[in-house]
Amino acid sequence: MPLVHIALRAGKTEAYRQAIFDGIYRAMHETFNVPADDQFMTITEHEAASFRYGSSYLGVARSDDLVFIQITANNTRTVEQKKALFRRTAELLGESPGIRPEDVFVSLVEVAKENWSLGHGLAQYA
């Protein structure tokens, strides 16, 4: 049950944003076995003054097309699954909407299964 928050610079088209949703979901489906109806994602857009990043931190040449992707998920995946998720996300976003791999920044936040309430005030996984 991943929850995905995506942040990017303002000004991209709806099709561009939808391609990001589609690519991230597909990567999670393929590498994290996320089911078909398990799509909980938001995108926030930021003006230049509200979007800061290290343009060369760790030797990665980032541009203003940088996309921050934060995925909150159960702490049940292996290191290999996580690596596969990062790699596949960069590949798919490169294909559509055409984001350079240097501009795909992913942060995975892992939580215990009992830390979710998916509606009705219940802890569905506890």
With vertex at residue 5, the alpha carbon angle to CA 43 and CA 72, rounded to the nearest 5 degrees, is: 165
Distance CA 38, CA 46 (A): 26
Q: Among the options 2, 35, 97, 101, which is catalytic?
A: 2
Backbone angles phi, psi at 109, to 5 degrees: -110, 120
**2 carries an active-site annotation:** yes
Residue in the structure block whose two tokens are 């589609």: 22
Residues labelled catalytic = 2
